A and B are shown apart, each in its own frame.
Chain A
Amino acid sequence: MIINSKLLFKWKVAVSLGLLLFIITPILISSLIRPTTDSLLDGNALKSNYSLEISISKINVEENIATVTITPRFQGNYGEPTRNGSLTFKDVELLVDSFQGSGKFSAQIGQVVGRQEFKILLKGNSWRYPFDSYRTGIGLTDSKFENSSLLLKEIKEYLPGFRANSKSIPNYRDDLYPIDSTRDEKIISDLNKGIAQIEWRVMRLPGDIYAALLLAILMLISAGASVSVTRAVWSGKRPPSINALAWLAAFLFAMFQIRASLPGTPPSGTLFDLIIFYPILIVLLAEMAAVVYLWIRRDDWDLKNVPKN
């Protein structure tokens, strides 16, 4: 068989470009799609000495719980920042709308206080894995109401497998704010009273989604390859053989390993299983049954390919 050198060159270029794209795509996606921070929580929009850093530090999808961390960063007449918290110059008490825990962030004059964790409810489920998303939120209220201009700065901590996009929301009904107030004005008005409401939308990292999709494609390619082999055997182009059966069984076994390798270990019975994993298992087993049938019924079973002299 003679291959045209120009055609071969084109193929080489196409394969090289494809491989390059394959390697670059996840890096590009991961660097372009980053968790977003509300403009009022990035630390640039507002100034105050009564400053706290807030972040989501843990996501527990199985138990529907997220952990929010609050770190004091007091300055001026409120305190002095230390490496992991602050030395406090005033009594501070902030009620935290947490599901469990102390339910407040407090410090007394002269106290060195570090970061504190609060557990909050996480709503959502993993049915649409890897495109599953969750919602969570927290409310903060200064119980003394004298510490005006609460400043919150969101810190993005690494959440294995997840990213969280934050959004500040007004605390009260629209009719309780001056008419024609913008969203930012409402939230700043709340912060000046020592009140804040933050919501997060939690999604899987693009890298994890990419990995899950790649594994799904790998499963589909494996199924496609096995379909081609079985089709060739069925049509008589190749003989049915025990080796083909063993190959199909090895593929079947590999499917479970690929399923177990999915990032975030989704529970069995998700949509991914229903439309990818289970149908592929059925296809592989059906092919195995077909090859068994042909191996028994046909005369060319295990026939070797002997070159003609």
Chain B
Amino acid sequence: MFPKINLQNNHTKIIFSAIILIAVFLAIFARGGTTSADNHSKTLLSCDPGQWSTSVYYADNVGGCPDLVEFYLLPSFVNEAASELVNRLVTAPSGLYGVAERNSGFTNRAFMVDLDSVDTVRILNTPGKTTTGINSRSKMSTKNALFYYPFDFYAGEITLQATDFQTKSPIPSTVSVGIQSLSGWKLKFFQSGEPDPESKDKIIYGDGLAKISWELERANVIFIAIILLIFLMLIALVSGFTITRSISTGNRPPSMNLLLWLATILFAIIQVRGNFPGNPPLGILIDYIIVFPVLSLLLLLGIANTFFWLARKDWDIENEKIV
């Protein structure tokens, strides 16, 4: 007979304290997603008195700001089905071209904005109006990078350009990024180039062609979640396998209740798969090496148990031993 074990009260307390401690630790330190940017990208263009007076981009305007266009990118969401990183792009004119605002900018001189994004057209900003915001949809991957979920990694670059409507010449530009985290993603922005001495660490693209690179990968919390969910599946499989082995050796009788339990577990595993963070589509690598094998084996165990229940004479037999 298996020895009966009495959990001491202090053991229970230790277990519960440990669980609460881990939960508190995660609540304080875990992050659902992070967005970072280099110093060139995360600071906004500043216009302190006299800051730009010696700059080639300054034409003695009211307000002390240089004559350029600042592109402000705010990470918005990841469209996994379309494999697109969506940023909101706010065009903030400065100096001769206008004034920056929170969601747009007020235009003083007409200029056009181009962006190498999915489905964007040239935007014309006319004087006396606010600038038009653009949804920057950057293609993350043209191949099936999601196949390697949660180890999928994406990288790309966004190119932006502002052009003066009258002269058709490029307007000097700069890029800034709003540090807004996306649930489940680790996003990084960076620019290469030397900042202008007057700009306080901002890179000014004198030829008008601004470029910013980005890298995107799953946040650490996603790995924790996936490990937990895979662990769940494996526990279910091992439990099903152990029970079936015990029945096949004749140690325990086959029973209808057991078949019900296996069916419930099978449904639960499908639910677990549906709860993978980010809802990746079926057919990714993790499905082939974990989910489909677990489901198939559980199904086989169900079939084996059905066979035992039908073929053996000890079906649904009760335990009559006196303990």
Contacts and interface: CB of A to CB of B under 8 A. Distances in A.
A286 B76 contact: no
B208 interface: no
Q: Taking chain A's interface residues, is the majority helix, strand, or loop, or is none over half, making it mixed?
A: mixed
Interface stretch (B130-138, B165-173, B284-292): B130-138
A19 interface: no
B246 to A, nearest CB: 4
A215 interface: no
A98 interface: yes
B181 A127 contact: yes
A246 B1 CA distance: 24
Nearest to A282: B228
Nearest to B317: A302
B161 to A, nearest CB: 20
Interface of A: 62-65, 95-100, 103-104, 119-121, 123-127, 137-139, 141, 143, 197, 231, 234-236, 239, 241-243, 245-246, 249-250, 252-253, 256, 259, 267-271, 273-275, 278-279, 281-282, 285-286, 288-289, 292-304
A253 B74 contact: no
Nearest 10 pairs between A and B by C-beta?
A: A236-B4, A269-B277, A127-B32, A103-B130, A99-B133, A249-B264, A242-B257, A256-B271, A268-B277, A97-B101
Contacts of B86: 63
Given A97-B104, A236-B4, A269-B277, A274 B221 contact: yes
A123 B225 contact: no
B265 interface: yes
B275 A299 contact: no
Given A64-B77, A292-B243, A299-B323, A271 B252 contact: no
Contacts of B257: 241-243, 245-246
Contact of A281 (B19, B130, B228, B321): B228
Contact of B30 (A245, A259, A271): A271
Given A124-B180, A271-B26, A275-B23, 14 more contacts: A120-B102, A127-B33, A139-B103, A143-B128, A235-B7, A236-B5, A256-B271, A267-B183, A269-B225, A269-B277, A281-B232, A281-B272, A282-B232, A303-B321
A246 B32 contact: no
Contacts of A119: 133
7 contacts: A103-B129, A253-B268, A271-B27, A273-B277, A274-B221, A281-B272, A300-B321
B239 A292 contact: yes
A234 B102 contact: no
B276 A64 contact: no
Interface in B1-33: 1-2, 4-7, 12, 19, 22-23, 26-27, 30-33
B52 interface: no
Contacts of A279: 19, 22-23
A23 B211 CA distance: 57
B192 interface: no
B40 to A, nearest CB: 21
Q: How large is the interface on B (under 10, 10 to 19, 20 to 34, 35 or more residues)?
A: 35 or more
B232 A125 contact: no
A202 to B, nearest CB: 14
Interface string B177-191: 010111110000000
Interface in B51-82: 74, 76-77
Given A64-B74, A295-B252, A296-B243, A127 B222 contact: no
A141 B106 contact: yes
Nearest to B1: A299
B319 interface: yes
B260 interface: yes
Contact of A268 (B5, B225, B238): B225
B32 A268 contact: no
Contacts of A270: 32, 183
A125 B13 CA distance: 35
A292 B221 contact: no
Contacts of B276: 268
Contact of A125 (B181, B235, B243): B181
B268 A296 contact: no
Contact of B279 (A64, A143, A268, A301): A268
Contacts of A63: 76-77, 86
Contacts of A96: 130
Contacts of A127: 31-33, 181, 183
A234 B323 contact: no
B37 interface: no
A121 B74 contact: yes
Given A296-B251, A297-B2, A97 B130 contact: yes
Contacts of B22: 279
Given A125-B180, A235-B6, A295-B243, A99 B225 contact: no
